[in-house]
Amino acid sequence: MKIDRDKKEWAKYTTIGGKTSREVQRRPAASFEQELAQHHQSQGHIKMQEILNQLDQVSERLKRSLNLTDLMLYKRLVKDFLREAASQAYLVKQEHGRSRRGRALLVTIQTVDKEIEQMLDEFTRRTPEPLEVLETLDKIRGILVDLMV
């Protein structure tokens, strides 16, 4: 039996449903490095989301009772978030070359650090109004959410 490999003859054959079969489009295979970078980026995004959820929990505790322990925990979580965001920005910069986003991230990290330091200094110098602290926490959270996008 001879097998005919001519595509012109394939047009007369149909599938079970009566429709003709379509050819599968092939795309170039992604390199291992690209897939690894994509996986690392998605893991970093998940980790940033977890830290953001922890920040929300600490923020809720601070809304109920303002204390230095929770403020220090908040500061540590923000530092962890920024460290993760900076590592993600470095990966993006490494993958795509020169980018404005890396510089914007640096400025944002410095801004968040400044906000946290001001909040802690204010808290240790005098007992601030809870509304002022919550306003600062909200501002910091907004900056962190912008970093995730």
**pLDDT for 116-134, tens place per residue?**
777 777 766 776 677 777 7
Q: CB of 133 within 8 A of CB of 66?
A: yes
At residue 96 the predicted structure's pLDDT band, cuts being 50, 70 and 90, is very low
What's the token pair of residue 80?
């962890």
Distance of CA 33 to the CA centre of its chain: 20
Whole-prediction pTM value? 0.55
Q: What is residue 17's predicted lDDT score, i.e. its pLDDT?
A: 61
Average pLDDT, the chain: 73
Q: Does position 16 have pLDDT exceeding 60, yes or no?
A: yes
pLDDT more than 70, % of the chain: 61
Instruction: Kindly tell me if the per-residue pLDDT of 35 is higher than 50.
Output: yes
Q: Predicted confidence band at 25 (pLDDT cuts at 50, 70, 90)?
A: low
Which DSSP symbol is given to 126? S
Tell me, what's the pLDDT at 21? 56
CA-to-CA distance for 136 and 147, rounded, in angstroms?
17
State the CATH architecture for 32-148: Up-down Bundle (1.20)
